[in-house]
Amino acid sequence: MFIFRGITESGIIVQGDLILNNNKPIILKRINFDSVKKNDNEHWTIEVPAYVIIPDSLSISTGFFDKNRKEIFSSFPVNGEMSKGGDVVFIPANMFHIDITGFVVYYNGEFKISSALSGVKRSIDPEQVEIIANQFYKIKN
């Protein structure tokens, strides 16, 4: 199951499920059973918080975690353009003989690192990289 992340116009960072409404990305926060209620008519209702997201901030979880156990997110295409919501990571020299800073992309069915240094999309060992920033906003610890 995919997890999406984005930021609202008011600066709220949210994670959850993605829907597109007239090409506008909306993230629905995941709920637990405490938010399921029975109303007077014996019907069940669910309240799901929904947030309109800045399209360029949208990202998708890779399912991997960096060496500090932070979840790694990749940019995600919105309206035919790749967003800038992916994480920026640092790759130590012991992986490629030179320190590399690059951003996470989904390329040919794999999550890879793309860097300005080489332009090459490289496969990575996620446990050896460290998230240092985000292309769209500063990651808050």
Answer yes or no: are the C-beta atoms of 25 and 78 closer than 8 Å: yes
Quick one: pLDDT at residue 84? 86
- Can you tell me the distance from the alpha carbon of 109 to that of 140, in angstroms, rounded to the nearest whole number? 29
Quick one: pLDDT at residue 118? 55
b/e per residue, 113-130, with b = 16+ CB within 10 A?
bbbeeeeebeebebeebb
Quick one: pLDDT at residue 104? 80
Quick one: pLDDT at residue 140? 42
CA atoms within 13 A on the CB side of 80: 0
Quick one: pLDDT at residue 50? 92
- Can you tell me the distance from the alpha carbon of 91 to that of 10, in angstroms, rounded to the nearest whole number? 32
End-to-end CA distance of the chain: 24
Each residue's pLDDT, cut to its tens digit, for the chain (141 residues) gives: 689 999 999 999 999 999 988 888 999 988 766 656 666 666 766 777 899 999 999 999 988 888 899 998 988 888 788 888 888 888 777 666 777 777 787 777 777 777 665 555 666 677 778 888 777 765 443
Strand runs (DSSP E) across the chain, as ranges? 4-7, 13-21, 24-28, 36-38, 44-46, 50-52, 59-65, 71-75, 77-78, 81-82, 87-91, 100-107, 110-114, 121-122, 130-134
Quick one: pLDDT at residue 141? 39
